[in-house]
Chain A
Amino acid sequence: MLVVVCDHKSGVLTSNSLEALSFGEDLARNGGKDLVALVPGGLQDHSLQSYRLRSVFTFPFSGDHATAEEYLAALLLLAQRSSPECIIFSYNSLGKALGGQLAIRLNAGLISNVCGFEWVDGRALFKKSVFSGKAYAWCAFQSETGLVAILPKAYGINQGQSEQVPEYIDLGPLAPDSRMLVVERTMSSGKTPLTEADVVVSGGRGLKDPANWGMVESLAELLHAGTACSRPVADAGWRPHHEHVGQTGTAIRPKVYIAIGISGAIQHLAGVNNSRTIIVINKDPEAPFFKAADYGVCGDLFEVVPKLIQALQNGQ
């Protein structure tokens, strides 16, 4: 039996959960295994029916959102009852809180940042992203239970076809660890989180002055994109630190990444080189970013970007 750990926001499964379900569905089908899901109580999202789930286990939680400690208690109980072969979850911030703890408590192997799998001689090998996406490690479990932690946005989401209505089973009251108390939650409202944006427009030192940031935002708005920046821009205080993408900032993997006035230092590339398509606008023909790019415009951004914005506005 394979278990997929799901999370929901306002009663709707998160995209990370849909991705974990997609991975679980494909793995279960290839291996001829049963698939079940674990969700915090109260979710009746119709899309759960699309992934050939035999059962959906639910668990109660206090507060407005299940904590990592509540997930952990539910998973330990579920594992004790039904000894799953694999537990599959997104390696987002929730997954990072859970993964290592489950590995010890269940004596299970943990393969993190998984972006694919293949079956070889009757066993699954999992493809793990390492060196910030500059290499992959194919890994195998040597344990009875395996923990598969999926790198967000690396596998993709299946448009589920099945109409199998799963059986709902409530795990009943839990006794989560209560030593840590959540006193406040601050959710960023409105904008899509940078890590979930399909298109990202990013600006660097080439913009010269924070007053010029407007063109990054205008372009982003026209392309329904998120905005990001390089480290010098965040360190200079032009943009908030949470917009810094790169080695020590956020790592992102959007479908399209547009870099404006960023030279493409290796530390910056480490955070963005898994973007599917990279477009670079820079006046320096020697900028290392062009080597990592799919499309490049070698020109003055103060001319190119306003003309591009104008052309996009005219086209609409």
Chain B
Amino acid sequence: MKILVCLSKTADTTARIAFDAAGVKFSEEGVQFILNPYDEWYALVRAIELRDAQGGQVDVVHVGSAASDMLIRKALAIGADAAFRIDDPEPDTRSVAEQIARFAASRGYDLIFTGKETIDYNSSEVGAMLAAALNLPFVSLCSKLDFSDGTLRCTTDIEGGTQMVELRPPAVLSAAKGLAEQRIPNMKGIIDAKKKPLEVLPAEAGSALVTVVRYELPQEKMGVKMIAPDDVQELVNVFKNDLKLI
């Protein structure tokens, strides 16, 4: 099985969210970037499990600058076979999808994984865009995946429940919690990763169809109102009068 896993870098959850003075650019100063957890914990690990069970290879692809190479090496250390980086320092979601689609079009992947969303911009757009650009079926929010007799059986989240779908590869899937368990790279993986190929490809970005005019931060909370632990009646009054819960 030939599998491609798309990797995003994302600001760590604990990052302080701030913008430049004009409010148009996220301030990266002091921000630690990590591999997007949905890509790393679920998409990549399930891809490796499938390869180990079925044979084949797992490639990873990332659209970004050389600053991401450390994160890409982590994916190789966890067990991917080869990595590709499309050298575009500031792509938007659409150009990520278009550039990966162009990369993947002639390489004959059976499965292409994305995480269900990045934990910073939360857009959840790239997987569906990739599927349409490559004219492949899109398995959205996949939380369980089995492959046997040439058929994929996937459990996906739908409104108010789950559904099971069946299809034959090739397909694009977005990985949700449940698909696999996070793996920590071991020492052998880290050493091997240094010898695995990381190929850099030129960017070929299109024009943006959405522009960000400015960023803004939400209003600060008014501050917490403390209620004494022996005064539960006060809390009941809050439920009744302020929140109209009862």
Q: Which residues in A have their C-beta under 8 angstroms from that of B163?
A: 182, 184-186
- In the complex the two chains form, is B13's CB within 8 Å of A99's CB? no
- In the complex the two chains form, is B159's CB within 8 Å of A100's CB? no
Partner of A113, one of B41, B122, B238: B122
Q: Is the C-beta of B110 less than 8 angstroms from some C-beta in chain A?
A: no
Q: Which residues in A have their C-beta under 8 angstroms from that of B139?
A: 180
How many interface residues does B have (CB within 8 Å)? 82
How many interface residues does A have (CB within 8 Å)? 89
- In the complex the two chains form, is A186's CB within 8 Å of B224's CB? no
How far apart are the CA atoms of A280 and B225 in the complex, in Å?
Answer: 10
What 1/0 flags go to A274-298 for Cβ under 8 Å of B? 0001011000000000111111111
Partner of A291, one of B41, B217, B224, B226: B224
- In the complex the two chains form, is A97's CB within 8 Å of B138's CB? yes
- Once A101-B128, A247-B119 are accepted as A-B contacts, the answer to whether A294 and B225 lie under 8 Å apart by CB is yes
How far apart are the CA atoms of A130 and B156 in the complex, in Å?
Answer: 24
What 1/0 flags go to A244-268 for Cβ under 8 Å of B? 0001110000011000000000110
Q: Which residues in A have their C-beta under 8 angstroms from that of B227?
A: 295-297
- In the complex the two chains form, is A311's CB within 8 Å of B161's CB? no
Q: Is the C-beta of A93 less than 8 angstroms from some C-beta in chain B?
A: yes
Q: Which residues in B have their C-beta under 8 angstroms from that of A143?
A: 209-210
Q: Which residues in A have their C-beta under 8 angstroms from that of B116?
A: 96
- In the complex the two chains form, is A298's CB within 8 Å of B226's CB? yes
Interface of A is mostly: mixed
Please tell me which stretch of B1-9, B46-54, B164-172 contacts chain A, meaning at least 4 of its Cβ atoms lie within 8 angstroms of it. Answer: B164-172
Partner of A300, one of B13, B161, B229: B229
- In the complex the two chains form, is B159's CB within 8 Å of A92's CB? yes
Closest-by-CB residue of B relative to A131 is: B17
- In the complex the two chains form, is A93's CB within 8 Å of B140's CB? yes
How many cross-chain pairs have Cβ atoms below 8 Å apart between A and B? 242
Q: Is the C-beta of A177 less than 8 angstroms from some C-beta in chain B?
A: yes
What 1/0 flags go to B220-246 for Cβ under 8 Å of A? 011011111110110110111011011
- Once A186-B163, A267-B13 are accepted as A-B contacts, the answer to whether A293 and B224 lie under 8 Å apart by CB is yes
Q: Nearest Cβ distance between residue B41 and chain A, in whole angstroms?
A: 8
- Once A135-B17, A136-B215, A296-B224 are accepted as A-B contacts, the answer to whether A97 and B140 lie under 8 Å apart by CB is yes
Q: Which residues in A have their C-beta under 8 angstroms from that of B187?
A: none
CB-defined A-B contacts under 8 Å, sample of 15:
A101-B138, A103-B94, A104-B129, A130-B215, A131-B120, A131-B122, A132-B122, A136-B216, A137-B214, A142-B210, A177-B137, A180-B137, A183-B165, A185-B162, A295-B224
A residues adjacent to B (C-beta < 8 A): 7, 9, 14, 16, 68, 91-94, 96-105, 107-113, 125, 129-143, 177, 179-188, 193, 199, 222-224, 241, 247-249, 255-256, 266-267, 270, 277, 279-280, 290-300, 303-304, 307-308, 311-312, 315-316
